[in-house]
Structure 1
Amino acid sequence: MKRTVNILKTSVVLVLFIVASFSTVKAQELALVEKAAVIEFESQTIDYGKVAQNSDGERTFYFKNTGNAPLVLTNVKSSCGCTVPNYSKEPIMPGKEGEIAVKYDTKKLGAFTKTITVSSNAKEGKVTLKIKGEIVGSK
């Protein structure tokens, strides 16, 4: 009788050990599922084409957070003072969309190519956007 009780206790301990081991492995697997924001732009280049001098230089880059964590844009800066970006400082939740408005100063004639660097907590880190076009005088 005492031997049966000992075998039963040993079996219970062994079963509990196995269940605990599987639970630990499952928890570790779940921890490996990375929580990260992912920023996906509709387009990383905006081509203004030919634009009249002193005309509206505003354009917009659209993006979506396709990750599983909130996306926070930490800095958006242009390659020169002639391009001014504007963006929301609020987090973009997973599955939601956002935008970065860009205003290019259309006073100076000629072709232009400028970059906008977007820094965020996204998996990609920094993303470089580009605007290009040509400012033409009126005839």
Structure 2
Amino acid sequence: MNFRKYIWVGVLLLTFVGCKIRPKRSSEIINVNHRLSSLIFINKYIDFGKVRQDTLLIGKYRFYNSGSDTLFIKYVNPDCSCTGYSLSNDTIQPLDTAFIELKFDTKEKLGFNKIYTTVRANTQTEFYKLTLKAYVEEE
């Protein structure tokens, strides 16, 4: 019985101590310290409500660079092939604005649809999630 307690205590100690002693790679330290661009989305969620089937929905997500360095949008990745996008500019100067347009084709879609899009940028928070929502009704 005592032997089992020692094993559990050992496993718990290794779990908690092992997580805290992981050294940071020098590249992680450099990247975090040099990220002076800041991406702020004015809207990250668009709900179109009820729409008819065979409609092209276009959601516009505005954002700006509130930092002191140039903001680079590395990629925009919708989670569905039925969703296209356009980016007004992938290089945004400090205090400048831009937008991403998501184009959702409701052809062959019915009911509740929620599309997520991942945006990656050169900011401390590398990934951002955009959401487009619609309830598609038959014609």
Q: Same fold (TM over 0.5)?
A: yes
* Residue matched to 1:95: 95
Structure 1 position 89, deviation (Å)? 4.7
* Residue matched to 1:8: none
In structure 2, distance between residues paired with 1:35 and 1:127 = 16
In structure 2, distance between residues paired with 1:90 and 1:113 = 25
Structure 1 position 34, deviation (Å)? 5.8
Q: Which has the higher strand share?
A: 2
Give the alignment's Cα RMSD to 1 decimal: 1.6
In structure 2, distance between residues paired with 1:34 and 1:75 = 20
User: Of the two, which has the highest radius of gyration?
Assistant: 1
Structure 1 position 123, deviation (Å)? 2.2
SS state at 1:84 partner: strand
Does the CA contact (< 8 Å) of 1:35 and 1:68 recur in 2?
no
* Residue matched to 2:65: 65
Q: Structure 2: which 5+ residue stretches go unaligned?
A: 1-32
In structure 2, distance between residues paired with 1:73 and 1:97 = 12
- Please list every run of at least 4 consecutive aligned residues from structure 1 whose deviation after the TM superposition is greater than 2 angstroms: none
Q: How many residues align?
A: 106
Q: Structure 1: which 5+ residue stretches go unaligned?
A: 1-32
Q: What TM-score do the two structures reach when normalised by structure 2? A: 0.71
In structure 2, distance between residues paired with 1:52 and 1:80 = 19
In structure 2, distance between residues paired with 1:35 and 1:73 = 13
Q: Name the % identity.
A: 29
Q: Counterpart of 1:79 in structure 2: which amino acid? A: D
After superposition, where does 1:1-139 map in structure 2 within 5 Å? 36-107=36-107, 108-138=109-139
